[in-house]
């Protein structure tokens, strides 16, 4: 009799325990979702605020700045006059083109050097390979500010000051890109190399026909990260580019910010909004490959 009662109590307690565990999982899930929404809001708010402010007239930007109110964030009468001023009066299109040239050149060179060096460090055997790879990684810890003066002297000595190659040639090889590609190439089974060599393939043919097709997610990841870095570059272009017609957009926008002419506030927000669009579009397009690239490379 007693055993029957205990059995019935256990039977009744199991659904209650399952319900409590389910409520606990739901609570943890809600906490996680709420935290992600809060973080997303904190990161997205400056971009959305700049986009809304760019739709205000210059007079409205200044008038609604203080004190803070609803109209400090939302345009009372949306207008595109800031974008028209940006492109017609401040030659914004030329600065965007300069930035695209610098970013495109740097991304192309970094992808080329990173894939070649990463493949050599991961798949080839030569004396001092691990030592050279370690020294390459150590260069990632040297800030740009430390090597800025000698780097400027080298580029200036080559006669490249105020030229487009000066914007991206000094950064043609990146330790992070080499490390990313090395880790990715190392994940490819060596049996594929052996099978290709049995068929008569050489090193270059194995690299292009066997290795590269298997690292597309990592290549997309490298393109995305390097594009963001080069698009947001500021210090080196400010130092090396002395021709204002070849300057990049980040330096141009910083010049608007430091201008004593407050009427440039509207175009400044329009410019900040416009330069953010390529980064968002690129991140959305390559997001799927970005996640796969980090997972297959072993970087967590």
Helix extents (H) in 1-128:
2-53, 58-63, 81-88, 92-123
CA distance 185 to 183: 6
Q: Which of 37, 181, 68 is nearest to 120 (CA)?
A: 181
pLDDT of residue 50: 86
**pLDDT value at residue 114:** 95
Instruction: Answer whether 273's CB lies under 8 Å from 92's CB.
Output: no
Q: Are 117 and 181 in contact (CB under 8 A)?
A: yes
Give the confidence band of 27 by pLDDT, cuts at 50, 70, 90.
Answer: confident
pLDDT digits (tens, 9 = 90+) for 34-79: 888 999 888 888 888 888 888 888 778 777 777 777 777 788 888 8
Q: What is the dihedral of CA 146, 151, 156, 161, to 10 degrees?
A: -90
For residues 32 and 29, what is the distance between their CA atoms, to the nearest angstrom? Answer: 5
- Average pLDDT along the chain: 85
**Distinct helix (H) and strand (E) counts, the chain:** 14, 0
Could you report the per-residue pLDDT of 150-208, keeping only the tens digit for each? Answer: 999 999 999 999 899 999 999 999 999 999 999 999 988 888 888 888 888 888 999 99
For the chain, strand residue ranges (E) read none
Buried b (16+ CB within 10 A) or exposed e, 229-268: bbbebeebbebbbeeeebbbbbbbbeebeeeeeeebbbbb
What average pLDDT does the segment 103-112 reach? 95
Q: Which of 81-85, 146-150, 257-261 has the lowest mean pLDDT?
A: 257-261
Buried b / exposed e over 103-142, threshold 16 CB at 10 Å, is bebbbebbbebbbebbbbbbbeeeeeeeeebeebeeeeee
Is the N-terminal amide bond of 67 cis, ω within 30° of 0? yes
Write out pLDDT tens, residues 267-297: 888 898 999 988 888 888 887 776 666 666 5
| pTM, to two decimals | 0.80
Q: How far apart are CA 137 and CA 288, in angstroms?
A: 27
Residue 243 region by backbone torsions, left for phi larger than 0, else alpha for psi between -120 and 50, else beta: beta
């Amino acid at each position: 009799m007693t055993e029957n009662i205990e059995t019935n109590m256990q039977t009744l307690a199991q659904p209650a325990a399952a319900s409590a565990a389910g409520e606990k999982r739901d609570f943890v899930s809600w906490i996680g979702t709420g935290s992600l929404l809060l973080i997303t809001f904190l990161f997205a708010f400056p971009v959305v605020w700049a986009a809304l402010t760019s739709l205000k007239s210059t007079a409205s930007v200044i008038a609604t700045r203080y004190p803070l109110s609803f109209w400090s964030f939302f345009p009372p009468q949306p207008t595109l006059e800031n974008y028209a001023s940006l492109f017609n009066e401040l030659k914004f299109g030329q600065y965007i083109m300069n930035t695209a040239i610098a970013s495109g050149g740097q991304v192309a060179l970094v992808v080329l050097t990173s894939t070649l060096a990463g493949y050599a460090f991961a798949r080839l055997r030569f004396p001092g390979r691990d030592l050279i790879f370690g020294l390459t990684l150590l260069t990632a810890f040297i800030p740009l500010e430390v090597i800025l003066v000698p780097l400027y002297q080298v580029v200036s000595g080559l006669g490249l000051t105020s030229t487009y190659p000066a914007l991206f040639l000094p950064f043609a090889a990146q330790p992070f890109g080499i490390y990313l590609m090395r880790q990715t190439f190392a994940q490819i089974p060596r049996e594929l190399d052996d099978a290709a060599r049995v068929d008569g393939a050489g090193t270059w043919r194995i690299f292009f026909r066997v290795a590269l097709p298997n690292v597309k997610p990592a290549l997309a990841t490298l393109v995305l990260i390097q594009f963001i870095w080069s698009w947001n570059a500021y210090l080196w272009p400010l130092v090396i580019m002395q021709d204002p017609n070849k300057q990049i957009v980040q330096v141009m926008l910083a010049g608007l910010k430091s201008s004593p002419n407050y009427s440039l506030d509207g175009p400044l927000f329009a410019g900040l909004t416009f330069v953010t669009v390529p980064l968002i579009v690129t991140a959305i397009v390559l997001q799927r490959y970005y996640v796969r690239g980090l997972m297959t490379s072993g970087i967590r």
